[in-house]
Amino acid sequence: MKKVFDLLKKEGLTNNEKIERKVMYEWSPNEIIDFNEKLLDAIEPQPKANSNIANFNYVANSNLSAQRFGNSCVGLNCRLQRIDRLTRFAALYSDRIYIQNYFDIYPNRPLPPHMSIKWIDDNLREPFADDLKVLLALKPLLENSIVCFVKHPAFHFCPSCMRKYLPVLTETQTELKNKTQALSDNYLDSTSARIALWFQIPGECCIDLKGPEDLFAHGQIYDVRSDPWLLKKANSAHGRISARDIKLSKKELKRTGIIERGLKEVADDILFQHFCSRFVSAKYLTDRDVDVQLLDSLTYDDDFKAYNEVLRNRIIYNLPLLDSVPLNYLLEVRRKEHDAFLVYRNTISHIISEYLAQRKPISSREGQQIYEDIIYPKLCELNAKVNSIKSSAMRAFKRDIAITSTVAILGMYSGLLPIETQAIVAGLGGLKAARDALQLLSRSITTPDEIRSDNFYFLWKLSKKQGGAHR
């Protein structure tokens, strides 16, 4: 990704403020499109995963990778929060994470001159500026090849090619469609919908929906519609002094198709990520309950193993670890303590696999529970062990150094000859005692070997930067 960030540097797009100024106020729409083409040329095709490390390669869904499509919030702050979480997960657990290229979806030809300023701002300027800011947030991981973009046309996905080259995915698509239809009734029961009467634009009405965050960002969305039957229902209430928002029945909500549309977007996301995972030999990574429900419905080869893999990765992703440790420090420790990183990661993976083997009901709470029951006590145990070892070493150091100092002072003030002083020092251990004292001092201020060999040493060292383990 060096070419990409060299290109950003050349254009002066090195921080969010400079991106905002240039994209939102200085560049013309066609200059934005031209620069996007340069970006696409600079992004290298994604490397295929090494099968030896495939268990730690992931394909992130649209929510985790902070895409601007799907059911997730497209606000920049929310996207950056999701990226921060993804980068920490990547640094703590993965060899490589693949995400869809943000810049593939922009126009590749000049815009017609009649396009409105509002359309350009809403669909080009602001989205492109935000995508560049997300790109900067990913820079440390992209430069270390821990995060990679899935790039077109090196990676191509369309229904005809899917049927031709991976017919099993056509079956997957059918199964996902059937499952989304079966799930829609459950989501209808947990969703409320009203026609918002404060929205008054001729020929349109607004539906205020509240329901599960898997389908509705932050649990609530507004959907502007122009269906004649909805307009008729909305117009019947306008003009009434005491009119309130009009509640839609479950039957009417189903008629809008909003629930089915949201589930279809999730299913399409799963299908795309599943295709990616086969293409680059990586595992599917999600944090959405609905993804797990849909994946559980698949009946093709080795489905339970695949399902368990998704659950395991989801639990690992939800472990509440190291939110305040600087990302660059995390990457530095990973690089310098790579063997400890590998041991720690294998240990976490083993813990999760054993947990799943019990076939307990799995929820988003499991990551927190495993952290509290297993990982946090282990970090506290390491802290206690380190403090005990260092305290003992410091006490012994003070004792030995006091003896040596006493002998030196005795030699200075008692009038003993140097050779006699040496005899006394020799009787108390001599130079070996001094060396031992220095070793004790070193042991009291460095990490003991028995701690460095612990399976959780990597995480423990990182947690010290954060100020200790946190619940």
pLDDT value of residue 460: 63
Tell me, what's the pLDDT at 441? 42
Question: Which of the residue ranges 26-30, 266-270, 374-378 would you say has the lowest mean pLDDT?
Answer: 374-378
Question: Who's near 465: CB < 8 A, 6+ residues apart?
Answer: 325, 326, 329
Place of tokens 């929060």: 81
Give the integer Cα–Cα distance in Å for 185 and 449: 58
pLDDT in tens, 188-242: 999 999 998 888 788 898 999 999 988 898 999 999 999 999 998 888 776 554 4
* pLDDT tens by residue, 402-412: 444 433 333 33
Which band of pLDDT confidence, cut at 50, 70 and 90, is reported for residue 370?
Answer: low
Mean of the per-residue pLDDT values for the chain?
75
Q: What sign for the dihedral angle of Cα 263, 268, 271, 277?
A: negative
What is the distance, to the nearest Å, from the Cα of residue 159 to the centroid of all Cα atoms in its chain?
Answer: 29
| Reported confidence tier of residue 366, pLDDT bands at 50, 70, 90 | low
Q: How confident is the model at residue 169 (pLDDT cuts 50, 70, 90)?
A: confident
| Mean pLDDT of all residues in 155-169 | 64
Q: How confident is the model at residue 467 (pLDDT cuts 50, 70, 90)?
A: low
Strand partners, 27: none
CA 450 to chain centre: 32
- Banded model confidence at residue 3, pLDDT cuts 50, 70, 90: very high
- Of 174-188, 206-220, 303-317, 370-384, give the lowest mean pLDDT range: 303-317
Residue 24's nearest CA partner among 373, 16, 467 is: 16
Tens digit of each residue's pLDDT (9 = 90 or more) over 33-58: 999 999 999 988 766 655 554 468 88
Task: Classify each residue of 393-409 as buried b or exposed e, where b means 16 or more C-beta atoms within 10 Å of its C-beta.
Answer: beebbeebbebbeebee
What pLDDT shows up at residue 83? Answer: 93
Burial annotation 70-87 (CB, 10 A radius, 16+ → b, else e): bbbbeebeebbebbebbb
Percent of the chain at pLDDT above 90? 26
99, 149 contact by CB (below 8 A): yes
- Please determine, for residue 334, whether its predicted confidence score (pLDDT) is greater than 80: yes
pLDDT at 123: 86
Residue 299 pLDDT > 60: no
336-363 tens-digit pLDDT: 888 878 877 777 777 777 766 665 555 5
**pLDDT tens column, 51-109:** 554 468 888 889 989 998 888 899 999 999 999 988 988 888 888 899 989 998 888 77
Lowest mean pLDDT among 57-66, 285-294, 440-449: 440-449
pLDDT of 271 higher than 90: no
